[in-house]
């Protein structure tokens, strides 16, 4: 499989997961289920797109770009942490209403 075909596959797969996460954000009923879609599917989708960019850059230059690697690392660390903080805030707000 060539690098271009791999990058194209990763872009299409990433786009599918981003679309799936966006639909989940709109369609799911409450804050907790709405958090699940974007943090899981969209993180995977954007991660696949960034990896596709890295693969294409490596195929063109022969060097691995540290920018794509740092974006991937930042994405995979911050998305679950922000979802966790949002869920904790929603739980706190929910318990305050009772």
Note the pTM of the prediction, 2 decimals. Answer: 0.79
Distance CA 69, CA 38 (A): 21
Domain boundaries, the chain: 3-97
Q: How does pLDDT run along the chain (98 residues), one tens digit per residue?
A: 788 999 999 999 999 999 998 898 888 888 888 888 778 888 889 889 999 998 998 888 888 888 888 888 888 888 888 888 988 998 888 887 76
What does the pLDDT read at residue 11?
95
CA atoms within 13 A on the CB side of 54: 16
Q: Are 83 and 39 in contact (CB under 8 A)?
A: yes
The Cα 85–Cα 36 span in angstroms is: 13
CA 76, 78, 84, 86 torsion-angle sign: negative
- Tell how far CA 27 is from the center of its chain: 18
Helix ranges restricted to H, 1-98: 3-27, 31-37, 43-61, 66-97
């Amino acid at each position: 499989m060539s690098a271009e075909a791999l990058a194209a596959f990763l872009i299409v797969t990433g786009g599918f997961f981003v679309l799936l996460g966006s639909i989940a954000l709109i369609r799911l009923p409450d804050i907790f289920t709405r958090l699940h879609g974007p943090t899981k599917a969209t993180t995977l989708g954007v991660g696949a797109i960034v990896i596709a960019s890295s693969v294409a850059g490596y195929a063109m230059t022969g060097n691995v770009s540290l920018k794509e690697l740092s974006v991937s690392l930042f994405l995979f660390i911050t998305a679950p942490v922000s979802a966790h903080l949002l869920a904790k805030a929603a739980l706190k707000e929910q318990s305050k209403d009772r």
